[in-house]
Amino acid sequence: MRQHVNPLSSNFKQIEKIPSLNEMFGDSKSNLHLDIGCAAGEFLFDLALFNTSWNYLGIEIREKLVKNAKFKVFRKEIKNLYFIFGNANNILNDFQCKFIIKNLKSISFNFPDPWFKKRHHKRRIIQPEFINILSNSLQKGTLIFVKTDVKDLFDYMDHTITSNFYFKKIDEKNFNYSKSFNPNKVKTNREKYVIDNQLDIFEKIYIKI
């Protein structure tokens, strides 16, 4: 069982220098999707390989995973995939990253760490201040995809997002994935595990209005 990283640790206050979209991607004008808490990035490698008209950006707090993912991108000469190391809250709150938020078509939070104990809830990635940052800078129409197998965490994230006036729920049953960042409904590693073990998945899509 892996040791969870405490995102509030002072180690993550300093963030790496964020390159421009031109430096990150072969075609900086392609649609941009951000996956927060992407782990080793396998999900994003699968997506980037098949959907070459999208750019994919992953943020992950475990440095080793990001180093390995960056090396794999370099080795395979993938031009529509980029990884950033650090606490996503700090990264997206940084002035350097305003351009990233402004250019996003969608964001996914796939199976974020649940931090079950109440005193640890503030370590959860989705926080009211974070949702405020997103609502202040995302373009209208940007989508947020949330998935988890923990009902309590789902309720907490759903409440936090819908408490912000600028996000509205979308009925995911009638959602047309074909034009989304994930037209083939590729599964994340955690999602595959959850399906194999017949656990519940709680998911929702929100749109910035």
Interface residues toward ligand SAM, by CB under 6 A: 5, 7, 37-39, 59-62, 87-89, 110-113, 125, 188-191
The distance of closest approach from Cβ of residue 42 to ligand SAM in the complex, given in angstroms and rounded to an integer, is 8
Inter-CA distances, 64 with 69, 83, 102, 133, 167, Å: 9, 12, 28, 28, 34
Q: What pairs with residue 31 in β-bridges?
A: 54
Comparing CB distances to ligand SAM, the nearer of 22 and 189 is 189
Active-site entry in 27, 35, 46, 113: 113
Which residues, at least 6 apart from 160, have a Cβ–Cβ distance to it below 8 Å? 126, 127, 128, 131
The distance of closest approach from Cβ of residue 27 to ligand SAM in the complex, given in angstroms and rounded to an integer, is 25
The encoded tokens of residue 171 equal 């009925």
Catalytic: 113? yes
Comparing CB distances to ligand SAM, the nearer of 113 and 180 is 113
Decide if 169 contacts 204 (C-beta within 8 A).
yes
The upper half-sphere exposure of residue 97, i.e. CA atoms within 13 Å in the direction of its Cβ, equals 22
The distance of closest approach from Cβ of residue 209 to ligand SAM in the complex, given in angstroms and rounded to an integer, is 26
Q: What pairs with residue 82 in β-bridges?
A: 57
Comparing CB distances to ligand SAM, the nearer of 77 and 196 is 196
CA–CA separation, 188 and 182 (whole Å): 11
The distance of closest approach from Cβ of residue 29 to ligand SAM in the complex, given in angstroms and rounded to an integer, is 26
Which residues, at least 6 apart from 121, have a Cβ–Cβ distance to it below 8 Å? 115, 156
Residue number closest to ligand SAM, CB atom:
37
Active site amino acids = 113
